[in-house]
């Protein structure tokens, strides 16, 4: 059966790198923040192996920035998240669960502090701009909110430091995890952070000004030829192995950060002003009754997970699988699921009702990457 095609129009925005991505032979896209996001170049398995061995350039322009600028910028940014931002200094990036007044997850962006009165919220796939504009209006805050012409380009993989050093200088090697510096390219200053949606290490370059997209892509590709650099993208297998969550897939507005395993990014008591603070403090006294887990599903490779698959134990549903892919390195289908308290302990045996039938499965507390028993 031929998979249906996606009709692309102006609403499905192209990126400053789209022409290069297409020349590199992108095989499939998804739509993320109303923008094209590549998902496959060779095969998902081959892309994964290459990512773990060499270095890749990723067009992650779809990680759009919501810029918050003005005297109330710090106050507004803290309103959005239960993570305590009071000690966040300029030059830092924070992974920040963002919640509504019920404590429900609205997004899980990276927050970048550019100046005391200027932040970029590097969003996952939901229209966070509208919520932020709504709060700004309701609280009469003194800030400007917009989506600037900024498109992240990720450099990911074990040779990312070598590649970035060749183009931006040796000093990039000393950038610490989730911190950024300014680098120069063709006379323009750009933010370069050590971050990215993989566990292989690397950077994200916030490309400010679409006209820089192709020159930057070309400079990095030329500099990395002997490093075997190639076009890549967030890899489904690798991100599930690493338990990197995907908003809209693994969590929605119906989940609290604690259910998503993001409790370590919440200091709700200290997050004075967070609009979800009261709701989260109320649920925190009990603790969550279901939580995100890694799951290993036995048997042949499962198909793409495009709807929730029930997790079953003793004939009753105890959770749902939201993402899954066959991992050649772990020799099993790796998955992400939300599992009830009764079955969330490490090593719990369950079954998963997949489109290919009922499969034996095991619940794990840590990611496959952290457990580290790749074959
Ligand atoms: N980078 C940037 N923007 C983004 C993403 C990104 N926006 C969309 C999406 N990704 C947001 N979601 C995530 C999910 C996980 C991480 C970052 C963004 C991540 N997590 C690390 C982990 O879980 O191991 C650790 C974070 C930490 O310790 O602070 O990196 O990738 N710009």
Is residue 133 scored above 70 in pLDDT?
yes
Assign residue 71 the CATH number of its domain.
3.30.70.1400
List CB contacts of 192: < 8 A, sequence separation 6 or more. Answer: 164, 168, 172, 175, 180, 181, 182, 183, 203, 204, 205, 206
Does the beta carbon of 352 sit less than 6 angstroms from any atom of ligand 1? no
Structure tokens at 141: 């805050």
Residues 375 and 311 grouped into a single domain: yes
Residues 106 and 180 grouped into a single domain: no
pLDDT band at 332 (very low <50, low <70, confident <90, very high): very high
Using a pLDDT cut of 70, give the percent of the chain over it.
Answer: 100
Tell which of 101, 125, 146 closes a domain. 146
- Of 83, 129, 197, 241, the residue with max ligand 1 atoms within 8 A of its CB, to mutate for a pocket test, comes to 197
Residues 40 and 164 grouped into a single domain: yes
Residue 138 lies in a domain: yes
Q: Which atom of ligand 1 is nearest to the CA of 265?
A: 29
Is residue 340 scored above 70 in pLDDT?
yes
Residue 1 pLDDT: 61
Does the beta carbon of 195 sit less than 6 angstroms from any atom of ligand 1? yes
Does residue 62 contact residue 32 with C-beta atoms inside 8 Å? Answer: yes
Q: Which of 55, 69, 89 is nearest to 160 (CA)?
A: 55
Residues 88 and 99 grouped into a single domain: yes
Residue 56 lies in a domain: yes
Does the beta carbon of 122 sit less than 6 angstroms from any atom of ligand 1? yes
Structure tokens at 247: 């908003």
Residue 5 lies in a domain: no
CA of 31 to the centre of ligand 1 (A): 18
Tell which of 239, 274, 309 closes a domain. 239
Does the beta carbon of 107 sit less than 6 angstroms from any atom of ligand 1? no
Does the beta carbon of 109 sit less than 6 angstroms from any atom of ligand 1? yes
**How confident is the model over 138-196, as pLDDT tens digits?**
999 999 999 999 999 999 999 999 999 999 999 999 999 999 999 999 999 999 999 99
Residues 167 and 195 grouped into a single domain: yes
SS (H, E, C) the chain: CCCCCCCCCCCCECCCCHHHHHHCCCCEEEEECCEEEEEECCCHHHHHHHHHHCCEEEECCCCCEEEEECCCHHHHHHHHCCCCCCCCCCCEEEECCEECCCCCEEECCEEEEEECCEEEEECCCCCHHHHHHHHHHHCCCCCEEECCCEEEEEEECCCHHHHHHHHHCHHHHHCCECEEEEEEECCEEEEEEECCCCCCCEEEEEEECHHHHHHHHHHHHHHCHHHCCEEECCCHHHHHHCCCCCECCCECCCCCCCCCCCHHHCCCCCCCCCCCHHHHHHHHCCCCCEEEEEEEECCCCCCCCCCCEEEEECCEEEEEEEEEEEECCCCEEEEEEEEEHHHCCCCEEEEEEECCEEEEEEEECCCHHHHCCCC
Rounded mean pLDDT of 69-79?
A: 98
CA of 109 to the centre of ligand 1 (A): 7
Q: Which residue has the higher pLDDT, 294 or 285?
A: 294
Residue 81 pLDDT: 98
Domain that holds residue 177: 18-63+149-239
At residue 295, φ and ψ (nearest 5 deg) are -135, 135
Residues 71 and 51 grouped into a single domain: no
Residue linked to tokens 């020159």 = 215
Residue 286 pLDDT: 87
Residue 41 lies in a domain: yes
Rounded mean pLDDT of 352-375?
A: 95
Residues 306 and 340 grouped into a single domain: yes
Give whole-number Cα distances, 188 to 10, 62, 182, 208, in Å: 29, 22, 10, 9
Tell which of 118, 146, 174 closes a domain. 146
Is residue 129 scored above 80 in pLDDT?
yes
Name which residue sits closest to atom 27 of ligand 1, judged by CA.
95
Name which residue sits closest to atom 28 of ligand 1, judged by CA.
95
Assign residue 296 the CATH number of its domain.
2.40.30.110
Name which residue sits closest to atom 22 of ligand 1, judged by CA.
244
Residue 284 pLDDT: 86
Does the beta carbon of 250 sit less than 6 angstroms from any atom of ligand 1? no
CA of 220 to the centre of ligand 1 (A): 23
pLDDT band at 350 (very low <50, low <70, confident <90, very high): very high
CA of 177 to the centre of ligand 1 (A): 11
Is residue 291 scored above 90 in pLDDT?
yes
Name which residue sits closest to atom 9 of ligand 1, judged by CA.
124
- Of 244, 267, 366, 370, the residue with max ligand 1 atoms within 8 A of its CB, to mutate for a pocket test, comes to 244
The number of domains in the chain is: 3
Is residue 360 scored above 70 in pLDDT?
yes
Residues 191 and 323 grouped into a single domain: no
Residue 2 pLDDT: 74
Residues 198 and 96 grouped into a single domain: no
Assign residue 179 the CATH number of its domain.
3.30.1360.120
Residue 172 lies in a domain: yes
CA of 183 to the centre of ligand 1 (A): 21
Cα–Cα dist 121/93, whole Å: 10
State the pTM of this model: 0.98
Does the beta carbon of 178 sit less than 6 angstroms from any atom of ligand 1? yes
Is residue 119 scored above 90 in pLDDT?
yes
**How confident is the model over 82-113, as pLDDT tens digits?**
999 999 999 999 999 999 999 999 999 999 99
Residue linked to tokens 């700004």 = 136
Q: Which atom of ligand 1 is nearest to the CA of 124?
A: 8
Does the beta carbon of 95 sit less than 6 angstroms from any atom of ligand 1? yes
Residues 75 and 213 grouped into a single domain: no
pLDDT band at 269 (very low <50, low <70, confident <90, very high): very high
Give whole-number Cα distances, 36 to 25, 26, 153, in Å: 14, 11, 14
pLDDT band at 69 (very low <50, low <70, confident <90, very high): very high
Residues 36 and 135 grouped into a single domain: no
Residue 5 pLDDT: 87
Residue 336 lies in a domain: yes
Q: Which of 58, 84, 18 is nearest to 157 (CA)?
A: 58
Per the prediction, the chain carries an average pLDDT of: 97
Residue 361 lies in a domain: yes
Residues 32 and 138 grouped into a single domain: no
Residue 274 lies in a domain: no
């Amino acid at each position: 059966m031929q998979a249906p095609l996606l009709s692309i129009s102006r609403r499905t925005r192209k990126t400053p790198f789209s022409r290069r991505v297409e020349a590199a032979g992108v095989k499939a896209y998804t739509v993320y923040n109303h923008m094209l996001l590549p998902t496959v170049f060779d095969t998902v398995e081959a892309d994964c192996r290459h990512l773990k061995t060499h270095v890749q350039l990723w067009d992650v322009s779809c990680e759009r920035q919501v810029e918050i600028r003005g005297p109330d910028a710090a106050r507004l940014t803290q309103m959005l998240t239960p993570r305590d931002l009071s000690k966040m200094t300029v030059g830092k990036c924070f992974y920040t669960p963002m919640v509504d007044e019920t404590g429900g997850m609205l997004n899980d962006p990276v927050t970048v502090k550019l100046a005391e009165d200027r932040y970029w919220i590097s969003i996952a796939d939901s229209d966070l701009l509208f919520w932020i504009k709504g709060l700004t209006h309701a609280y009469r805050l003194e800030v400007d909110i917009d989506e600037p012409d900024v498109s992240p380009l990720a450099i990911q993989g074990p040779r990312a430091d070598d590649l970035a050093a060749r183009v931006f200088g040796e000093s990039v090697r000393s950038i610490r995890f989730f911190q950024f510096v300014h680098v120069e390219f063709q006379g323009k200053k750009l933010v370069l952070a050590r971050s990215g949606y993989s566990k292989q290490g690397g950077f994200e370059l916030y490309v400010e000004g679409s006209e820089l997209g192709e020159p930057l892509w070309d400079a990095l590709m030329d500099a990395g030829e002997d490093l075997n650099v190639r076009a890549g993208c967030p890899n489904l297998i690798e991100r599930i192995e690493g338990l990197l969550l995907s908003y809209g897939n693994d969590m929605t507005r119906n989940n609290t950060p604690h259910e998503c395993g993001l409790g370590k990014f919440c200091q709700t008591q200290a997050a004075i002003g967070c609009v979800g603070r009261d709701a989260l403090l109320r649920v925190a006294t009990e603790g969550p009754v279901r939580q995100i887990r890694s799951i290993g599903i036995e048997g042949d490779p499962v198909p793409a997970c495009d709807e929730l698959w029930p997790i079953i134990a003793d004939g009753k549903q105890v959770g749902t699988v939201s993402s899954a892919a066959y991992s050649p390195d772990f020799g099993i289908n790796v998955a992400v699921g939300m599992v009830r308290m009764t079955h969330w302990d490490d090593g719990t045996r369950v079954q998963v009702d997949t489109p290919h039938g009922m499969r034996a499965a095991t619940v794990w507390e840590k990611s496959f990457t952290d457990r580290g028993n790749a074959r």
